[in-house]
């Protein structure tokens, strides 16, 4: 065997077969980079798929909304109840005050004449109101002519005009002409102010209380039971825990006397108020202010202009007790004015 055919040295074969450490580390880093890039690629694909699905969902929702809109199935929005201002009724109600002022400033027209006219009108209106509530044909004609002046409750009940005439006639019959005039003005204008302000701001204020506390009144002062409000069922005094309790203040001993029980608190008495529950504090305040201004303006500027008719009589913005305010307002306001002037006259006479 010649030298040319001898195998290469062993150290050369080993060096050519095994890679160097630097080459192996480069390959490892390369593979990691490739795997990282592949992971980023899959992540980008997932994000793209999610965005694609979201776009598809939004497209489906938009398409569904358009379809609902075409079919009239739009989402129902809460309806805001419109305020019925009752403009024709309020204009008619307020006009009575101006007519009353005109009659007051016309001395040639006696109060008796006004009451006779009002009683005559009542003699026609009252039977008509009875008939129209029982005969549908008359009701249709009645509402066609006067329906714009009626409230919804008056379509199936008594017309407020009847109570208006009765209240005015009572004032004109039993009060002096100036007091009767102011009471009718209060009915005409204070009631209108209460209704208007109550509709505007009534929801923002508390309703009038059903009762007021008498805690300031000494316990020995007697108050009629029918004027007191019933105790709340949740109060300790109203719970019938035993038959020996008496009005929540103690129990009755063997001698028939009431023995105080310190464990049961005394319930403060509450005076019932006759206000209707639907009346608001805002409307009540408006009626009070308007009524005070009417009385002040009348006796500072108009009283006495009639000429000698201040004491003449023509004959011998509150629902009280469920009665119509057209009836109670002139009666109560006129009575309060009469009481005020009686007390004022007594005070001035005593001072002199």
Task: Tell me the pLDDT tens digit for each residue of 152-178.
Answer: 889 899 999 999 999 999 999 999 999
Mean pLDDT is lowest, of 107-111, 160-164, 238-242, 320-324, for: 238-242
CA 326 from chain center: how many Å?
21
Q: Please give the Cα distance from 350 to 332 (Å, whole number).
A: 27
More confident residue, 145 or 307: 145
Average pLDDT over every residue of 68-80: 58
pLDDT bracket for residue 134 (50, 70, 90) = very high
**Residue 187: what pLDDT?**
94
Average pLDDT over every residue of 7-27: 51
Average pLDDT over every residue of 185-193: 95
Tell me: pLDDT of 333 over 60.
yes
**Percentage with pLDDT > 70 across the chain:** 62
Q: What is the pTM of this model?
A: 0.65
Of 168, 52, 299, the C-alpha closest to 160 is 168
Tell me: pLDDT of 135 over 90.
yes
CA distance to 14, 47, 116, 275, per residue, from 41 (Å): 40, 10, 102, 78
Task: Please give the structure tokens belonging to residue 170.
Answer: 């009572």
What are phi and psi for residue 280, nearest 5 degrees? -105, 160
**Residue 32: what pLDDT?**
66
pLDDT bracket for residue 348 (50, 70, 90) = confident
Taking only the tens place, the pLDDT of each residue in 223-277 is 898 888 887 554 444 444 433 333 444 444 444 444 555 554 556 889 988 777 6
CA 313 from chain center: how many Å?
40
Q: Please give the Cα distance from 324 to 207 (Å, whole number).
A: 18
């Amino acid at each position: 065997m010649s030298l040319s055919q001898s195998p290469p040295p062993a150290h050369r074969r080993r060096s050519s077969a095994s890679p160097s450490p630097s080459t192996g580390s480069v390959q490892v880093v390369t593979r990691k980079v490739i795997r990282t890039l592949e992971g980023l690629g899959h992540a980008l694909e997932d994000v793209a798929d999610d965005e694609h699905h979201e776009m598809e969902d939004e497209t489906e929702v938009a398409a569904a909304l358009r379809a609902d809109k075409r079919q009239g199935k739009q989402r129902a929005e809460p309806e805001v109840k419109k305020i019925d201002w009752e403009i024709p009724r309020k204009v008619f109600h307020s006009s009575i005050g101006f007519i009353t002022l005109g009659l007051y400033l016309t001395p040639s027209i006696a109060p008796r004449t006004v009451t006779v006219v009002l009683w005559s009108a009542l003699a026609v209106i009252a039977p008509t109101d009875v008939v129209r509530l029982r005969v549908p044909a008359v009701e249709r004609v009645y509402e066609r002519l006067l329906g714009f002046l009626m409230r919804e409750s008056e379509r199936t009940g008594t017309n407020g005009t009847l109570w208006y005439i009765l209240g005015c006639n009572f004032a004109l019959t039993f009060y002096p002409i100036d007091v009767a005039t102011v009471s009718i003005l209060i009915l005409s204008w204070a009631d209108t102010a209460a209704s208007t302000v109550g509709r505007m701001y009534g929801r923002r204020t508390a309703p009038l209380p059903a009762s007021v506390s008498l805690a300031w009144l000494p316990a020995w002062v007697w108050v009629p039971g029918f004027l007191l409000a019933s105790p709340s069922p949740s109060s300790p005094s109203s719970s019938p825990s035993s038959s020996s309790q008496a009005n929540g203040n103690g129990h009755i001993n063997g001698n028939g006397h009431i023995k105080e029980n310190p464990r049961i608190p005394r319930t403060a008495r509450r005076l019932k108020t006759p206000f209707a529950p639907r009346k608001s504090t805002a409307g009540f305040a408006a009626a009070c202010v308007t009524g005070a201004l009417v009385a002040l303006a009348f006796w500072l500027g108009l009283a006495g202009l009639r000429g000698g008719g201040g004491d003449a009589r023509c004959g011998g913005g509150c629902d009280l007790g469920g009665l119509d305010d057209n009836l109670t307002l002139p009666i109560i306001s006129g009575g309060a004015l009469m009481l005020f002037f009686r007390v004022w006259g007594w005070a001035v006479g005593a001072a002199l």
